[in-house]
Structure 1
Amino acid sequence: MHKYGRDLRNPIDDGQQFIMQAGTDVGELARQLFPGGVDAAPPDAYAYQISVEKTKAFIRQGESIIYEAAFQFEGVLCALDILVRKGNAWYAFEVKSSTSVKAQHVQDAALQYFVTTNCGLLVHDISIVFLNNQYVRKGALDTQQLFSTQSVVDEAKALQDFVNDKIQAFKTMLVQRNVPVVDIGPHCFTPYGCDFTNHCFSHMPSEDSIFELPDRTAWKLYADGYKALHHIPDDYELSDKVNMQLLHHRTGEVFIDKAQIRKFLLPLTHPLYFFDFETIMPGIPEFDESKPYQQIPFQYSLHVQRTRYAALEHFSFLGDGIRDPRSELLISMLQHLGTTGSILCYNMNFEKQRIKELATLYPNFEKELLAINERVVDLMIPFARRWYYHPDFKGSYSIKAVLPVLIPELRYDVLPIQEGGMASLAYVQLKWQDDETISLQRQQLMDYCKMDTLAMVKILEYLRQVIS
């Protein structure tokens, strides 16, 4: 498809672009493990022949460290992130932005070993360089500690016949120019998401699809020949939860367990706090006392209702995008969350875990922070446990699924920032923007996070009306 059907590729959104750039940043930082090398990278993504020739020239010139060294053997191209000469032998390093070595990384290395050795290069070892998730930044980045290295040369050698067989199969396929008939399945998303899912799933109904059900159930149904929910026979064996979803999809009726909802709401005490974090997860730790991919809260929104019919108050915090936001966020949180009253979150485990991490980071505030966690109530519970189920939830109980059904006048899709990933990206971008753009994006971030907590206010009001 990349060869003959590139126009059918899914559009690349800002989030995907950001992930790719983050991977590039990790690769460039890893060069500090072997400084002073020469760069054989091509001028653009489709000019690798230039890179191959540059690599040959660097080797002839006696260079001992080459970045993005490219080799080609019988029409198969590979590029090595870092290639190091020691004596007469070469050591190859493939950099990954993950925190462990995965099976697909070993296959990548096996292909690189196949191409480079068949080009006549004496490759003594090939290793995966990956992020060490136990590294805690303290001051300047220590790249020697940030990265871990694991040799996979033995595994790569063991896969050489497999690689050769795959290459021959791919060559035959490309010569034929016909798209092979490969049905959709879990392989479309594992180990990576396919770039052509919009095209390959186009035969599936946009509404009434079996993919509104949990993945495992949906794929079993698909394998049995079903595509639409209304095609599933009544006697098809399904879990109780899926059967409930299917029943209400067919009838259009809403299920309400008033007794359970009433029992859930009864212990709530005023003042009520509606609280939500936004976080970033940088692979390369940006701040002291943080690890690769640690969740760093940079923003919160808080709506407060002092008594049942009191006017709402709103408080918020948003970091500047440059400094570590955690200490200022912590002080602001403690100032506004008080010491009594229920704190409502949606999917509370996320907020509670961030608060526990703040308590560990700032032990002087541990008592106050852990006391906050004792007051947290998860507003997701009535929907996750299906005490309230609407067929338009389509099996989901995320706030993005629940809100537009219960409160249609509140909509995320009218906001410039519509979900947490977009918020994280917008925050990271603040450090690169001009003043006008910074001001605009900060307002957009505050509007989005405020929507999350206002949504909880309205959902609670709705549940109270349901049982009244």
Structure 2
Amino acid sequence: MAKTYLSKSTFIKGVQCEKALYLHKYNRELADDISPQQQAVFESGTSVGLLAQELFPQGVDASPKDYSQYFQSFKYTLELINKGVEVIYEAGFFYDNVMCFVDVLVKEKEGWHAYEVKSSTKITDTYIIDASLQYHVIKNSGLDLVNISIIHIDNSYVRSGAIDPKKLFQLVLVTQHAIDKQNYIKDKLTILHGVLSQDSIPNIDIGPHCASPYDCNFKGYCWQGLPSYSIFDLSRLNKKIKWNLYNRGVVDINQIPINVGLSDNQKIEVDAYVNKKEIIHKFKIREFVNSLSDNIFYLDFETYQSAIPPFSNVKPYQQIPFQYSAHYERNQKMMHVEFLAKDAVTDCREKFIQHLIDDMQEDGDILVYNIGFERSRLRELIAVFPQYKIPLQAIINRMKDLMIPFKEKWYYLPSMKGSYSIKSVLPALSSMSYDDLEINNGGLASVTFANMHIISNQDSLNVIRKNLLEYCKRDTLAMVEILNVLKMV
């Protein structure tokens, strides 16, 4: 019986896709594994919620000790209300087989005010639906709820000293929106409860809803019948065109009609796949290679971001560089330099700058993969540390982009499957890969570094630092390998 209950999260899942709701309730083993990056998003939301409680101090926490004890939380919430407690965190309510937990519930002169905290920087339609469901449950459970607001992060906030929650957060009243949505909520609840009473999985095909408003965690199950290289992998093809093709029965790349209106690069991609062709524009590639200096530095940054700025002169979700790797050749020998910050709560940006300036020396092109990323990070550092503007700008001026030959399809192999990311290009050109590394992608590197400060065991920290250094080093070594392939054209 418990499986027929709905919560805020399962309601939103059902609004997105009734099949996903059913699978979540009855076939959860079919869900995709939660990645470390996804887990980090969940944990970030928890941290943001706890910080927002400081806007309403001296509250009492009504949250259950574990998820199975939610009915005790409903009872405890009622006890706190009857005792006259005016600020309650995670207040629990239950009505019509729907449960919800309000981040902050505050007794004001006019009545009770519910606050829902979001780690996002803007309010979305989904958040309004979320708040409307809470309004429905709380109001109908008998509480005199007069207002409901959404608290979200202000992305214009720049930390200066200690975090100021009053400046970090924006409070937006959405009561009228919630009232206007009540008929929608009631109708949708009837539908979703009906879905959960079915004996079989709803017959719903894949569609745009698989990624809107959130990436569905049953995509692996629902999309398993697609070919390994389908129309959905075609680079930069408009989503509407992709779904129009799918609805016409076009799934495989070689089924795409000639009148679809593909770009030149997309035509190259399709032609290479269908005819098993290697696209190698020798003149363009040689021109690119010849434009590079004799002395080349291969440079790569790693960054992390946090909803809550970790130190001064940082905005929410700002990309903070914490690591770099650089390879360069001297006297026919490949040299390597690197930097890795202490942890994510220590501001090591100035040390990063100083080491980078020293390591990049004064001459030679600096080769990066996706120049916009590294260039933007350096410009952000200049804004905070203007005393280093001249040497950092000199580094920017020396940068060249190794991604260009692949982005422009001067060098394209069918095995790249439309992607020009270094993770797709490298294995297509070389036997080198990231498969042997504990940390094998940038997202995992960011999450790992962001959590280093909570690890107290020094041996564990040493292993993590080693793994981070090995990953970033592999990125620049991959660039060396890729350029060597281009030089042989």
Q: Specify the TM-score bucket, using the shorter chain as the normaliser.
A: over 0.9
Q: Is the 8 A contact 2:229 2:417 kept in 1?
A: no
Q: Is the 8 A contact 1:4 1:177 kept in 2?
A: no
Structure-1-length-normalised TM-score: 0.96
Deviations along 1:394-438, one digit per CA (max 9) or x if unpaired, are 000000000011012x11111110111110111122212210010
Task: Tell me which residue corresponds to 1:273.
Answer: 297
Task: Tell me which residue corresponds to 2:458.
Answer: 435
Quote how far apart the aligned CAs of 1:47 are: 2.6
| RMSD of Structure 2 on Structure 1 (CA) | 1.4
Task: Tell me which residue corresponds to 1:210.
Answer: 231
The alignment partner of 1:275 has SS state of strand
Amino acid aligned to 2:473: K
Amino acid aligned to 2:231: I
Amino acid aligned to 1:329: F
Whole-Å separation in 2 of the counterparts to 1:394 and 1:88: 60
The alignment partner of 2:451 has SS state of helix
| Runs of at least 5 residues in structure 2 that lack an aligned partner in the other structure | 1-22
- Answering whether residue 128 of structure 2 is matched by residue 106 of structure 1, we say yes
Deviations along 1:14-51, one digit per CA (max 9) or x if unpaired, are 22111111111110111000011111111212332111
- Answering whether residue 367 of structure 2 is matched by residue 344 of structure 1, we say yes
Task: Tell me which residue corresponds to 2:411.
Answer: 388
Amino acid aligned to 2:352: L
Identity of counterpart residues, as a percentage? 41
Q: Is the 8 A contact 1:279 1:296 kept in 2?
A: yes
Report how many aligned residue pairs link the two structures.
Answer: 462
Deviations along 1:216-247, one digit per CA (max 9) or x if unpaired, are 24323211112223444556553332222111
Task: Tell me which residue corresponds to 1:58.
Answer: 80
The 5 Å alignment of 1:154-233 reads 154-205=176-227, 207-214=228-235, 216=239, 217-233=241-257
Amino acid aligned to 2:232: F
Larger mean CA deviation between 418-427 and 174-183 belongs to: 174-183
Deviations along 1:259-290, one digit per CA (max 9) or x if unpaired, are 11122222211321110100010111111111
The alignment partner of 2:163 has SS state of coil
The alignment partner of 1:154 has SS state of helix
Quick one: which of 310, 325, 333 aligns to 2:356? 333
Structure-2-length-normalised TM-score: 0.92
Task: Tell me which residue corresponds to 1:284.
Answer: 308
Quick one: which of 102, 106, 118 aligns to 1:84? 106
Quote how far apart the aligned CAs of 1:70 are: 1.2
Whole-Å separation in 2 of the counterparts to 1:187 and 1:175: 22
Quote how far apart the aligned CAs of 1:91 are: 0.7
Select the structure with the greater relative contact order (CA < 8 A; seq sep ≥ 6): 2
Q: Is the 8 A contact 2:300 2:476 kept in 1?
A: yes
Amino acid aligned to 1:294: Q
The alignment partner of 2:204 has SS state of coil
Quote how far apart the aligned CAs of 1:347 are: 0.5
Whole-Å separation in 1 of the counterparts to 2:222 and 2:70: 29
Task: Tell me which residue corresponds to 2:320.
Answer: 296
- Answering whether residue 482 of structure 2 is matched by residue 459 of structure 1, we say yes
Task: Tell me which residue corresponds to 2:146.
Answer: 124
Whole-Å separation in 2 of the counterparts to 1:261 and 1:461: 12
Quote how far apart the aligned CAs of 1:458 are: 1.0
| Runs of at least 5 residues in structure 1 that lack an aligned partner in the other structure | none
The alignment partner of 1:43 has SS state of coil
Whole-Å separation in 1 of the counterparts to 2:407 and 2:46: 38
Whole-Å separation in 2 of the counterparts to 1:191 and 1:263: 44
Task: Tell me which residue corresponds to 2:36.
Answer: 14
Q: Cα distance 1:101–1:233, how it changes in 2: closer, same or farther (>3 A)?
A: closer
